[in-house]
Amino acid sequence: MGDEASVLADTPVLEMHSPLRSLVLVISTLCIAISFYSVQALPVAHRRDLGSALNNLIDIYHNYAVEITHHAETFHRLAQEPAVGRSADFKQQCATEVSGFLDSLQGFQSALGQLSTDNGLANNAFASPLETLFDNTVTATKDLLRDINALVDEIPTLGSVLDPMVVQIMVITDDMLDEV
């Protein structure tokens, strides 16, 4: 048990305000408790497999985060277009970007659910990249919702198109924050 505790002690401590901090610490504590009752440590090959699985999970998160940011930035550009320069299918373009954002956010949430059941998060070295991706996703969500609000103020009929997706985005975001 001493080896696991020293690894955790040598790992940089996550920020106190970090949303993933409590999840990482709880899982780390559980893994130490489980290893205390184990007769032997995991073989090196299993540890490599665990690291590989976590790297794959980080890649999945990264891909979703890139998609989320792309849709939020594209919607922001649409929202910044002058009213006189907007195309005839402007509302459809807006709906497409918000829908794409929602799909990516749902994928991100699904991966988050997989992470919360993965005991491999005990390795705090993976917490920092995941924390960054999570923070970027929350920031992109806030930016998108702010841009939607501004655009709906300008074009009220757009509200009826985007409202169901906005509600879903808010519910997913709330659920994700509850998970971490």
Is the pLDDT assigned to residue 69 strictly greater than 80? yes
**Widest Cα–Cα separation across the chain:** 72
Question: DSSP H helical segments within the chain, as ranges?
Answer: 2-10, 21-37, 44-80, 90-116, 127-154, 157-179
Contact (CB, 8 A) for 120 and 50: yes
More confident residue, 5 or 137: 137
Q: What is the pLDDT of residues 13-68, one digit of tens each?
A: 334 443 333 333 333 333 333 333 333 333 444 444 556 766 777 788 889 999 99
The residue ranges of every structural domain in the chain are 2-179
Q: What is the pLDDT of residues 31-41, one digit of tens each?
A: 333 333 333 33
Query: Pick from 62, 67, 83: which is nearest to 133 by CA?
Result: 62
Burial 102-123 (b: 16+ CB within 10 A, else e): bebbebbbebbeebeeeebbbb
Contact (CB, 8 A) for 75 and 97: yes
**pTM (two decimals):** 0.65
| Contacting residues for 36 by C-beta, under 8 A, at least 6 apart | 1
Q: What is the pLDDT of residues 80-130, one digit of tens each?
A: 999 888 988 999 999 999 999 999 999 988 887 776 555 444 444 556 677
pLDDT at 177: 79
Q: How far apart are the first and last CA of the chain?
A: 26
Is the pLDDT assigned to residue 180 strictly greater than 60? yes
